[in-house]
Amino acid sequence: MKKTKCWFLSTALISTNVFAQTVILSDDFESGILNHDHWTARPGINDQVGGVVEVTANIQGVDADHQGLYGVAMGRSNGGEYTTNALDLRLDLSAYEQVELSFWIKDQADDTQEHDGIWFSDDGGASFHKVYSLDVSDWSDVWGQLPPIDVDRLASENGLRLTNQFVIRFQQYGSGNFSEGYTDGIFLDDVLVTSPTVAYATLPFEDDFESGEFGDAWAWSDPYFTTLPETIRPGGLVTVVPVIQRIEASHQGRYGVAMGRRVGGGHTTNALDLHLDLSSYEQVDLSFWFKDQADDTQEQDGIWFSDDGGASFHKVYSFEVSNWSDVWGQLPPIDVAQLATENGLKLTNQFVIRFQQYGSGNFSEGYTDGIFLDDISVTSPTVTYATLPFDDGFENGELSHAWTWSDPNLTTVPETVTPGGLVSVVTNIKTVEAPYQGLYGVAIGRRTGGKTTTNALDLHLDLSAHEQAELSFWIKNNGDETQDEDGIWFSDNGGLLFRKMYTYDPSKLSSEYQKITLDVDALASEKGLKFTHQFIIRFQQYGSGNFTEGYKDGIFLDNVSVAARGTPSCSGNATYDAATGILKVPDVHFENQCFAVELEQIEPMGDFVFKLQDAVQAIR
């Protein structure tokens, strides 16, 4: 049984298993009557006979409730002429800026008509504006819930204000009754009007959904701006759950996010929005765990960004789910800052990341569809362009700040960037040891066998002070086959553009570690690249098998070293500040490296102090 209250009017902050919000009105109709302080039934508003708008448990043998005993039936008592029925909800919204409307609805084989929909009035009902169409012909004749309807946005778009005489009208139009012959009608239940509490979270942001509900930064949203409006249906579902239709929803722990349909039916678009304040950050990465439930790739699947609080959206990333493996996996961290820039967006204090799913099946029966999300994090990464010499044996058990697991979309076919990929510092992958020596090495491959996947590991280097450099690394093949995507790429502009430099032919590599040494300056020169302060060396692997079972794939790396050869190029003009007595020399050659030093004059025409890093010594 559901709660026994018949209506609830309050401004108290509550937390539901969906979102935190301020409740303006909640009505589940369990009193068995309409609360006439807020509701007015208007059957046959144009003086038609036979119209029905009433709270009931059952009408013409059809149950009227979503849950509990009672719901609202809107239709005709018998078949006859077309009749317009209305149910008006009167509210004082003058104290609110943000208002949302939610309700459960079921259509009884109702046909879409121009008169079906939701109307608003800001003058107590003296005039109405249609703001939302109920496209019932494309629905599934079962109980469902539309995404929360943005009342303030729709009011503003129609020239209305949130007043103390605001009316929300639910309207139904049809000629049939509920159960015989040509049927018609709709049912409503669990109507909720709220002022949503949406917080723009700062970084780092992490959510594993183990609270069992969405936090204030999340919103199940109406995807009106990012899909075809007719695909916004009550069959859609965006919820935090442990299990749905006998399918576990979590990557780890108990809870995860399910996005799909309650039952199979018409194609439906679902949107989940994450609100972030990114105004203080220049670099932002998005990471999440993902599982698709036999979902098919559609244009509407993917990630959208908004930098204006959701007033407009741009698609920035496609989910190529048809090429994925229906198991939990993780895409490479998504570079939010770069994608925003490419789409003409800024990192603002009202930044929205929208996860969107599109499909027609449910999670477990017949033609299945849907996706699961878990362990979502948004961070501002610390990426360091390391100076030479650089050596890493990975013995700290993780990638240092000079390394990034990167999205290889510029150096591979985009559809091979899948959640099945793995780039990780490990001791072993099941029975296969990862290090050349010590305890740790880097594994690059797939978590499980499946679709062909490209993985990229980037090393960031500041080579601006050098003319010559040598790269050496130890590599072990794990049954990987030679592909054009396997190899090493260079970038001299921070990753905006890559050039392939070298193919490590896995078919010629041993299953034992062997050392490869490359002349970095010679390879860069051949491709027209320069040694810059934002130089990247990308190690890339491509394959479809995992490390241990069946058709195997993958490589291991260890003991990566980049060393300068020859004398570094140190240049720059010294400057002297008479007021402070400081002589600044920007580039001094010392022990095969370039340093910035300062000479501080102790007294006029006297000694100087020589400062090199933390060392201080007097010189003449």
Q: HSE (CB half, 13 Å, CA atoms) of 421?
A: 26
Phi and psi for 448 in degrees, rounded to 5? -135, 160
Q: Given 2.60.40.2220, 2.60.120.260, 2.102.10.10, 3.40.50.620, which CATH number is that of 1-197? A: 2.60.120.260
Q: Hey, which bits of 478-513 come out as E strands?
A: 487-491, 499-502
**pLDDT class of 619 with cuts at 50, 70, 90:** very low
**pLDDT class of 24 with cuts at 50, 70, 90:** very high
CA–CA gap between residue 142 and residue 216 (Å, rounded): 30
pLDDT at 12 over 60: no
| % of the chain beyond a pLDDT of 70 | 88
Q: Are 542 and 444 in contact (CB under 8 A)?
A: no
pLDDT at 14 over 70: no
pLDDT at 380 over 90: yes
Q: What is the pLDDT of residues 395-425, one digit of tens each?
A: 999 999 999 999 999 999 988 999 989 999 9
Phi and psi for 560 in degrees, rounded to 5? -85, 130
Question: Is 569 buried (19+), middle (13-18) or exposed (0-12) by CB count in 10 A?
Answer: middle
Q: What is the pLDDT of residue 264?
A: 80
One-letter amino acid at 365 equals E
Q: Are 214 and 103 in contact (CB under 8 A)?
A: no
Tokens of 143: 């109980």
In this predicted model, which residue has the larger pLDDT, 5 or 459?
459
Q: What is the pLDDT of residue 96?
A: 97
CA–CA gap between residue 270 and residue 354 (Å, rounded): 10
Which helix (DSSP H) or strand (DSSP E) does residue 339 occupy?
A: helix 336-342
How many Cβ atoms sit within 10 Å of the Cβ of residue 181?
9
Q: Are 335 and 287 in contact (CB under 8 A)?
A: no
CB within 8 A of 235, min separation 6: which ones? 139, 140, 142, 144, 261, 262, 263, 265, 266, 268
Tokens of 95: 């104290």
3-class DSSP string for 218-229? EEEECCHHHCCH
Average pLDDT, integer, range 247-259:
95
Q: What is the pLDDT of residues 25-49, one digit of tens each?
A: 999 999 999 999 999 999 999 788 8
Average pLDDT of the chain is 88
Q: Are 418 and 455 in contact (CB under 8 A)?
A: no
Phi and psi for 588 in degrees, rounded to 5? -120, 130
CB within 8 A of 165, min separation 6: which ones? 90, 92, 121, 122, 123, 124, 125
Q: Do domains 1-197 and 198-381 have the same CATH topology?
A: yes
CB within 8 A of 251, min separation 6: which ones? 289, 291, 328, 372, 374, 375
Question: In the chain, where are the structural domains located?
Answer: 1-197, 198-381, 390-564, 575-619
Q: What is the pLDDT of residues 219-237, one digit of tens each?
A: 999 999 999 988 999 989 9
CB within 8 A of 255, min separation 6: which ones? 208, 209, 210, 211, 212, 240, 241, 242, 249, 374
Give the residue among 531, 455, 536 at the shortest CA–CA distance from 490. 536
Give the residue among 459, 469, 486, 487 at the shortest CA–CA distance from 524. 469
Average pLDDT, integer, range 262-277:
92
Instruction: Look up tokens 């004059």; give the residue.
Output: 601
Q: Mapping DSSP to helix (H, G, I), strand (E, B) and coil, where does residue 491 land? A: strand
Question: Is 176 buried (19+), middle (13-18) or exposed (0-12) by CB count in 10 A?
Answer: buried
CA–CA gap between residue 274 and residue 257 (Å, rounded): 13
DSSP code of residue 266: S
Average pLDDT, integer, range 117-137:
94
CA–CA gap between residue 298 and residue 320 (Å, rounded): 8
What is the dihedral angle through the alpha carbons of 565, 510, 449, 405, rounded to the nearest 10 degrees?
A: -10
CA–CA gap between residue 163 and residue 614 (Å, rounded): 67
Q: What angle do CA 199, 151, 52 make, to 5 degrees?
A: 135
pLDDT at 613 over 50: no
**Level-2 CATH architecture, domain 198-381:** Sandwich (2.60)
CA–CA gap between residue 265 and residue 259 (Å, rounded): 15
In this predicted model, which residue has the larger pLDDT, 150 or 544?
150
CA–CA gap between residue 113 and residue 90 (Å, rounded): 24
Average pLDDT, integer, range 552-573:
81
Q: What is the pLDDT of residue 139?
A: 82
One-letter amino acid at 250 equals S
Which helix (DSSP H) or strand (DSSP E) does residue 42 occupy?
A: strand 39-42
pLDDT at 50 over 70: yes
- Record: fold of 390-564: Jelly Rolls (2.60.120)
